[in-house]
Structure 1
Amino acid sequence: MLVRELTDRVTAGERTEWTRVILDGAPPARPDELAEALVEPLRVLGRPVLRVAAADFLRPASLRFERGRADPDARYELWLDEGALRREVLDPLSPGGTGRVLPALWNAATDRATRADYTRLPPGGVLLLDGELLLGRGLPHELSVHLWLSAPALARRLPADEHWALPAFARYDAEVRPLHTADTGVRADDPRHPAVLDDTPV
């Protein structure tokens, strides 16, 4: 149901340029799985698709962990290389852009550049950008989706060694209110039955 509704939303109307879709949520909400599920339905409808993970645009470890490896404020404020994400992915898909996108910049596991090649997304194509803590930054996009987990559900589903990050997600909920500010807010406590908010446009 959710995939069909989002596919309809993305493909509504004629587009001669690009549609940038942000799929936002804490890792246990699996925004990456939603992005993957959207690829084939969009392609069947004739829309070229490019998936990009925000996790491939993190800053080097020396900057991410400057305050230590378990600082929730650093994760919220500093981990994402927002400038690179804009420059290499989002701005080239703005109206009048080149369509030339770098799909990955930094491998956080090896702490090295990915050396990925640039790719060109044809006009009319769809960018699916998935990741955490993406809204409230003013990142340019045409559609945003937030997969929301209640605090108890997030604590249950986040690995114990990641619980240090819970204050970052609580701060995000309080400051950005992503469930309500996203174009489409989805309650995802039950992964089998995600519930789209009634007051969202979908």
Structure 2
Amino acid sequence: MARVARCVPGAVDGGCVRVAVDGPDGSGKTSFADDLAAALRALGRPVVRISLDDFLNLRTVRYRQGRHSPQGFWEDSYDYARFAADVLTPLGPGGSRRYRPAAYDLKTDTMLEPEPSTAEAETVVVVDGLFLHRDELAAAWDFSVFLDVPFPVTAERMAHRDGTHPDPEHPTMRRYVEGQRIYFRTCFPHQRAGILIDNRDFDAPRIVRG
């Protein structure tokens, strides 16, 4: 992880550095992003951690194309306008550095308006989430990682974590697996990422490219 942390570029003119940790559901994005944040702090760099899952749309929006729709999962899961307004713009070039870390509460299915926080100058903003290399987000990142883990492995992990079916081809998994396949076909995140990492072994991530 220290090697990846050393690859994160420095800030320009006191601004922030925006870093994406992308990959399939169950690929280990949250843990990887947490470990990367810790490695960056060990290098003396200030860090803000953000999860795109805190910028979900309301359930009525997420499921407006049907609860089993892969297209709906791909198109309607996240509130990208709020994510841009609350995170990417204020923590981007020339931004105010006043950001909000969350816009949605999953338990209550309500939108949030937390008081803004102010990031230090030269903060590294580490964001984990699905679909971070889609067209409207890809250009925002100063550095990005894609965790390459096959669906049979991620489905097994999700089964342990969420109680879902361990077979990625099972009908109950179609919304999520096919939605992510749409993303792969449309946006080529494996190629867009600055670093591609084989994360099948949580304890030994392997840099494939970058």
Fold shared, TM-score > 0.5 on shorter chain: yes
CA RMSD of aligned residues (A): 1.9
CA distance in 1, matches of 2:151, 2:83: 28
**Greater CA deviation, 152-161 or 68-77?**
152-161
Equivalent pairs counted in the alignment come to 197
Matches within 5 A, 1:33-182: 33-139=31-137, 140-159=140-159, 160-161=164-165, 163-164=173-174, 165-182=176-193
Pick from 5, 8, 13: which aligns with 2:6?
8
CA distance in 1, matches of 2:38, 2:205: 20
- Residues 93-147 of structure 1, C-alpha deviation per residue, up to 9 Å, x if partnerless? 1211100000001012320124432111111001011011121233212011111
* Structure 2 letter corresponding to 1:59: N
CA distance in 2, matches of 1:90, 1:115: 16
- Residues 49-87 of structure 1, C-alpha deviation per residue, up to 9 Å, x if partnerless? 111110010111111111222221111111111111111
Q: CA deviation at 1:166?
A: 0.9
CA distance in 2, matches of 1:12, 1:103: 22
CA distance in 2, matches of 1:13, 1:108: 33
- Residues 9-63 of structure 1, C-alpha deviation per residue, up to 9 Å, x if partnerless? 1255776211000111123111111111122222232221111110010111111
CA distance in 1, matches of 2:12, 2:130: 30
CA distance in 2, matches of 1:117, 1:26: 31
TM normalised by structure 1 equals 0.88
CA distance in 2, matches of 1:172, 1:77: 10
* Structure 2 letter corresponding to 1:105: A
Give the unaligned 5+ runs of structure 2.
166-171
Give the unaligned 5+ runs of structure 1.
none
- Give the match's secondary structure for 1:62: helix
Pick from 188, 199, 202: which aligns with 1:191?
202
* Structure 2 letter corresponding to 1:157: R
* Structure 2 letter corresponding to 1:74: G
CA distance in 2, matches of 1:70, 1:20: 33
Q: Name the % identity.
A: 26
CA distance in 2, matches of 1:85, 1:144: 17
Cα gap change, 1:43 to 1:11, in 2 (>3 Å):
farther
